[in-house]
Structure 1
Amino acid sequence: MSEFLPPNEVERSKSKLINLLHSYMAGDSHEHTVFSNPTTRHEADYTFEQVFRYIQSEINSGENKMEFVVLAEHASDAANPKLVNGQALLEHQEKVHDFMEKQKNEVAEYPEVISGVETSIISAVGDLDVSDNVLSQIDLVIASKHDLKSVFPEQNGQPTAEQLTNIYLKLMQNPNVDVIGHPNRYVSYEDLNKMDWQTLFNTAKETHTALEINFNAPMPEELIKQAVAAGVPLFLGTDAHNLKDFQRLGEDIRQKIEKEDNRLDYPLGVKFSFWKKVARVLRTLEEVNAPAEQIITSSKENLADWLSKDKEERTIPWIKNV
């Protein structure tokens, strides 16, 4: 059981963390909906319309001022990724665009829903489960390492540090890839330390590619510090699959946790275990004085500016309104 802090210190700590969160993350980034559900496995519980309504209610209640939601739909089963034609992604994006167009005339203040894909690596040379032709038409593209057992069967699906470094470098050279999703996830600490991060950081800056700090699998603190020092664009992602991650907890559960440790609360209603990960990332960013401009999710304007520079040939409807 942890030592209790004085009440004024508890409130100061909570307020500070909330301010940090608002400084670095103005929306829910990397959100999955039922579109991501493969036929063999369950990924998410809600439609993008339901996600919009939930966050809209948060805005109306004054609890949370999210400016945007970045969808990151799976194109194929992340547990067994394979190449798909991607037409369904384009149709889904059109639905999102049409839905948001209607909101302009119906709602005074609303979160922007940004259509995106989390495409999976499917080869040792960085091929993805969605073609470049389709990716070039998607508003925001996150490329991530998921299951690679079919690619590296003799290594139990785990590429070496050198192999993974080369895969990420190849992805960064792809003009359709905006973000490298959870680059440390499913990677051993030993291999993570062997990867050529300096080359990756330099290439990320040169190619205008962001690295994700994923709250479900946060980067090690030292790696976050190195990325900030290198000036790499950073994308904070919740990787949410279920709105229950954000729902407010009952008073009985809140009191139970506070009996054990009153140093952390649920300032935005997120689950305690999830909030602890968020708090750890925020404190690391604060420790190294990470500039908000380096965190592309720090505001809708920052995200729009970053995407417009990266996607000059694409038409992204919501950017016109920023």
Structure 2
Amino acid sequence: MLATFYASGCVVNAQMWPLLPKLLLLLVGLAVGATYVSAINDWTDRADDFAGGKSNLLSSKSGAFVALLIAGCVCVGLGIGLFLMQASWVSALLYLGSWIAFSCYSWPPIRLKNRGLMGVIADAAGSHFFPQLLVVSVVAAWSGHAVPGIWYGTVGGWALACGLRNILLHQLGDIKADEAAGVNTWVRKKGAYFIQQLGRFGIFPVEVGAFSLLLLLSQQLWPVIFLVLYVALEGFKWRIWGAPAVITPGKRMLLTDYYEVFYPLSFVLALSVQHAVDGWLLGLHLLLFGLRCWQTIRQLIWAGTLIVRKGLSHK
């Protein structure tokens, strides 16, 4: 979410540091939404998780506790929604969209989780599509700069593809437990092989294509430089470890490190170049996520050191 916030700021050439208080409130709203999702998912999955031999955080909690937790999330969510409504109706509706999508995914009698493809789409929309577009929308509303429609479309397409990939990988990882519990996920209906092929040759290429267009539309050099570094590092790991990043449950996921480290860092760096005041945002980002960044930097240093040593050994 932060990366898209930074990237959208670059696209409209707006100072983002002054928007920090509103951004923090938005993150609270997204966190509350995530808590609501986790609560209703665990509560409505109790019987299925028991049948499938999976752990469930709410299995030992009382109905009153869960009701209070869900009600608290809804109340805070309504407050955040009203706050967003003051900025723009679009933002409020996008925020509401995530709540509706996940409610339809989990709550009976709709419970799209058991309805194949519709459940997959609902999860992808709730977890990625609506939140990512919400971030773009609030940047436009709070900065007073219009965001191009093609940017909305590109971010939305990329987010939906990411969401589809993630939920299908999750369902692939849970396929045995879902079979034991009789949960009719789309992976169970179509079979693991079909889903794996769809992910590799359908969804993932769309994700990569949309993200490539996103980088092109941003007209920023730093994300491209960092992408080259990421690709080089992954190639090096493949050669040394013999274990490439893949799109398979339980494995090191392709593009995860770029999305988590390089993507946000490159755009907050670009913001600080555009506007000196956003250097504070860069500093805050490094303060909060410095450990994760440092882990990646150490890997780059490690790779560079081995390459230099190998080069010297051949002289």
TM-score, shorter chain, exceeding 0.5: no
Report the TM-score, using the length of structure 2 for normalisation.
0.25
Structure with greater strand percent: 1
Q: Which has the larger radius of gyration?
A: 2
